[in-house]
Structure 1
């Protein structure tokens, strides 16, 4: 599609430096096109959404829509992800990655509703988000044209973006001395860029936003109780809450104790390694609680399958494949496995750590009578002899064959 043929574009607008440049850039380069800014409310706290909306209009957006999707985000995306156990490269709780499918879906829905013929995002040509946004666009509305400014314009760095805005007389909160890329939603906040681009540099206080430094956290541990039903958190400290409220409350509790900080180098989908400081306090607590109940309830084969599904799902989410048959199948399997994941957990929060110190479940397969080191009347230890002979039979046959050959 030629630029002159684009009549209306919906931009996923965050209020950050990149998308703030994109609005005037679109007006300058797609001259006959109406620019509609779309702001997804996914629980971000750093910036006032009303101020972001005002800023979008000041930058030249013809229309601006704010759509609150934070409760849907937690219940329909985060909770299903939690049931799969997905963690990317054994560290990253997928805070940015899991938000992209719902943002892109809502953007598509808005575009179709208002008759737009194009979609626009601010992801760079080096990152994962371009794939995540555009894979969702392709799955839900392949007929819409895609504008990816970082792959079109001649601006090569965020320093040049600042200069572009300066020439237009537009102020920005970012600076050439401290250009951090932050992504925030109710599940996590990430910080990238700046001094973090050198992995030898120690992350400074500016690299952390939500959580207290574990060294400065309270000297006394805090115990909290969590109830789980079918793999979902339903109660915190005896108070029944919806998924969003559970996560919000656990974020507050976890942040106070410095829980959920990671400083990692990860493999991006396109092959570049990147470093980020991620904070997921409530999510870390949720993962701890769910895994504790699974230890009680899941048999060995079920847990093995869940672990396999977790790794596969982590790649699907990271790679932008939420709206695919494979993703749907894994979620269905995880939902089935989670049917008996009910229980109550006591979590201890202390100096950056989240530990399950008490656990119980009506579906627990743990039996003190069988596991005890004391005397019991339910297990005949002599039965193990026959089991071991059969279990080790292939090794025995192999050894005998080698001996006589």
Structure 2
């Protein structure tokens, strides 16, 4: 099934609510699990299915995400978790055995994945994991980006990007129009071309461990620069402080698969009140990993200091 539209809609939510996790990276993997279950499980149940299965490692983040969202979205479906089954563990004791089975049966392997490496990609971003990258002493330059250039590989000349916001959401990126699939795709292309993408973090996981992860989200990284400037110019100090607190709640909620729970709904309602009428446009200059704000217009009413513009002897 083509789930680009719902994935783009959730990416729009990630940006609106700045729902990021440890180290400020975007929750694109957690968001994808929400989209998969919320879009597919009801159709499976309507088609007469009684169970759904996933291949996530037993006890990991994704196992809990599928279990939580499955219980909320399609409580009538039981969940099969192969990696809690002793027979499955005996048949596939390691990733080498899994890779051999994939090759033997002619199954499609996600680009960039192997027995030693794993990528997880969707319209909003890509996560990179490997035995090598789990070592905190491994330089990030050992990574092979899937979409993006490194900053030094970008074009020699900067590129100008204008992002327009309406009612607290992206309405256009360089003429893309308001369709989230269109502006997310274009923002990804621009950010990837200019090396705007990298988050190298040590994250605290649901299961209580810490793990290094490297994340490629060029579109969201680019758009966040514009959205942050709009917020800074549109919200007063108390509103911005509350926004940031609620955004932290939502970052954790997306990571921990609690996006549908009351606390997350209340946090979204709060931010919706704050940014529901926020709008404007921001023009960015993008060049080799650097994003600079060139100019902006704000649609909402703001009180701007004009001390120097009024002669330097009074405030307005």
TM-score w.r.t. length of structure 1: 0.71
Gaps of at least 5 residues in structure 1 are 1-66, 380-405
**Structure-2 separation of matches of 1:370 and 1:165:** 67
**Structure-2 separation of matches of 1:203 and 1:147:** 36
Instruction: Report the counterpart of residue 51 of structure 2 in structure 1.
Output: 118
Give CA-to-partner distance per residue, 1:181-204, whole Å, 9 cap, x none: 111101001110142121211235
Instruction: Report the counterpart of residue 283 of structure 1 in structure 2.
Output: 220
Instruction: Report the counterpart of residue 132 of structure 1 in structure 2.
Output: 65
Instruction: Report the counterpart of residue 328 of structure 1 in structure 2.
Output: 265
**Structure-2 separation of matches of 1:338 and 1:259:** 26
Instruction: Report the counterpart of residue 240 of structure 2 in structure 1.
Output: 303
**Structure 2 residue 286 is the aligned partner of structure 1 residue 349:** yes
Instruction: Report the counterpart of residue 245 of structure 1 in structure 2.
Output: 182
User: Comparing both chains, which one has the higher relative contact order based on Cα–Cα distances under 8 Å and sequence gaps of 6 or more?
Assistant: 2
Offset, 1:222: 1.4
**Structure 2 residue 146 is the aligned partner of structure 1 residue 213:** no
Instruction: Report the counterpart of residue 9 of structure 1 in structure 2.
Output: none
**Structure-1 separation of matches of 2:224 and 2:144:** 24
Would the aligned equivalents of 2:30 and 2:255 in 1 still touch at CA under 8 Å? yes
Offset, 1:126: 4.3
Would the aligned equivalents of 1:226 and 1:346 in 2 still touch at CA under 8 Å? yes
Would the aligned equivalents of 2:22 and 2:201 in 1 still touch at CA under 8 Å? no
Map 1:3-42 to 2 at 5 A.
none
Q: How many residues align?
A: 310
Offset, 1:373: 8.7
SS of structure 1 residue aligned to 2:306: helix
Give CA-to-partner distance per residue, 1:188-229, whole Å, 9 cap, x none: 011101421212112356531111011111232212111111
Map 1:15-164 to 2 at 5 A.
67-75=1-9, 77-152=10-85, 153-154=88-89, 155-164=92-101
**Structure-2 separation of matches of 1:333 and 1:176:** 40
**Structure-1 separation of matches of 2:22 and 2:214:** 15
**Structure-1 separation of matches of 2:54 and 2:290:** 37
TM-score w.r.t. length of structure 2: 0.90
Q: Residues 236 and 271 from structure 1, CA distance in 2 versus in 1: closer, same or farther, beyond 3 angstroms?
A: same
SS of structure 1 residue aligned to 2:25: coil
Q: Residues 176 and 211 from structure 1, CA distance in 2 versus in 1: closer, same or farther, beyond 3 angstroms?
A: closer
Would the aligned equivalents of 2:164 and 2:281 in 1 still touch at CA under 8 Å? yes
Q: Residues 176 and 132 from structure 1, CA distance in 2 versus in 1: closer, same or farther, beyond 3 angstroms?
A: closer
SS of structure 2 residue aligned to 1:356: strand
**Structure 2 residue 185 is the aligned partner of structure 1 residue 185:** no
**Structure-2 separation of matches of 1:218 and 1:351:** 7
**Structure-2 separation of matches of 1:171 and 1:112:** 29
**Structure-2 separation of matches of 1:337 and 1:125:** 40
**Structure-2 separation of matches of 1:203 and 1:126:** 27
Please, which moves more after superposition, 140-149 or 234-243? Answer: 234-243
**Structure-1 separation of matches of 2:216 and 2:308:** 38
Q: Residues 163 and 219 from structure 1, CA distance in 2 versus in 1: closer, same or farther, beyond 3 angstroms?
A: closer
RMSD between superposed Cα atoms in Å: 2.3
Map 1:365-384 to 2 at 5 A.
365-370=302-307, 374-378=311-315
Would the aligned equivalents of 1:215 and 1:351 in 2 still touch at CA under 8 Å? yes
SS of structure 2 residue aligned to 1:340: coil
**Structure-2 separation of matches of 1:192 and 1:73:** 22
